Amino acid sequence: MTRKPVSVITESQYTVKADKTIASLLDVEEGSKVNDRVVRLSAGGTTFVHARSLSPLERMPDTMREQLMRADIPIGRILRSHNLETRRDMDELEILEGEPTFNGIPVLSRSYKIVHNNHILMWINERFPIDERWNL
């Protein structure tokens, strides 16, 4: 959209054990290993998206897991490089006010699951600030 290269800025990335909430989101057993990643996507020095992804490590091919753990690769590029046939199942779409994500600017928040072979490969929440940065 901006015609500028997009950079991934990783805020955090951890392997966690799925608690009850995460296990329910991903349809995995409690205690399963999950990659929990929070990033900002920026272009031309402007941040356009704040995203969190949860990925059950047991469902990923080894090479995909390695790429995911490298914090600088966008998830879409990882999926394309593995030629995985996936679908996105939308969960929630809402406007949030007063969130700290973009210093209190209202955001459009969407959550969805990426499904491969009828199993949830990832849960993603993306937040887009509602302001003038979209006047491209």
Domain boundaries, the chain: 6-129
Please name the helix (run of DSSP H) or strand (run of DSSP E) that holds residue 68, with its range, or none.
helix 62-69
Distance spanning both ends of the chain, measured CA to CA: 8
- 69 vs 75: CA distance, rounded Å: 11
pLDDT tens sequence across 94-126: 999 998 999 999 999 999 999 998 999 999 999
- Per-residue pLDDT tens digits for 34-68: 999 999 999 999 999 999 999 999 988 777 877 77
Positions of E strands within 82-118:
87-96, 107-116
Three-state secondary-structure class, residue 98: coil
Residues 38, 51: contact at Cβ < 8 Å?
A: yes
Say which CATH class 6-129 falls into.
alpha beta
